[in-house]
Structure 1
Amino acid sequence: MKANVGGIDRILRIVLGLALIAMTLAGFIGVWGWIGVVPLLTGAIGFCPLYPLIGFSSCPVKR
């Protein structure tokens, strides 16, 4: 797995994932809020499995 999620993208994914999980635990949203685990994990590991399928990468090119 080659990293394909850049810095700002990673931060946004982690914040969104944590927010969804927190709202689910607090009872503000239903069970679907557990989908926040997906952006949390992709942000934490720096790899999004959808990006290679669409030919996108937000990670800066290393030379």
Structure 2
Amino acid sequence: MKSNVGGIDRILRIVLGLVLIGLTLTGTIGVWGWIGVVPLATGFMSFCPLYPLLGINTCPKK
């Protein structure tokens, strides 16, 4: 897997994932908040499987 998620994109994904999971654990939002695992995982791996299909690459590395 080649990295396709850049710095700001990666940070936003990790923060969004942690916020969604945190809100789920506190009972603020329902079970759907566990979807936060997806942006969290893609942020940590620096790879989004949807990006190649859409032709997007936010990673500055070539």
| Structure 2: gaps (5+ residues) | none
Q: How many residues align?
A: 62
d(CA) in 2 for partners of 1:45, 1:7: 12
* Structure 1 ranges of 4+ moved more than 4 A: none
Post-superposition shift, 1:10?
Answer: 0.3
Secondary structure of the residue aligned to 1:8 is helix
TM-score (norm 2): 0.97
> What TM-score, normalized by structure 1, do the two folds share?
0.96
Give secondary structure in 2 for the equivalent of 1:51.
Answer: helix
Q: Which runs of 5 or more structure 1 residues have no equivalent in the other structure? A: none
What is the percentage of aligned positions where both structures have the same residue?
Answer: 76
Offset of 1:61 from its aligned partner?
3.7
Which residues in structure 2 correspond to 1:1-63 (within 5 Å)?
A: 1-62=1-62
Letter in 1 for 2:27: G
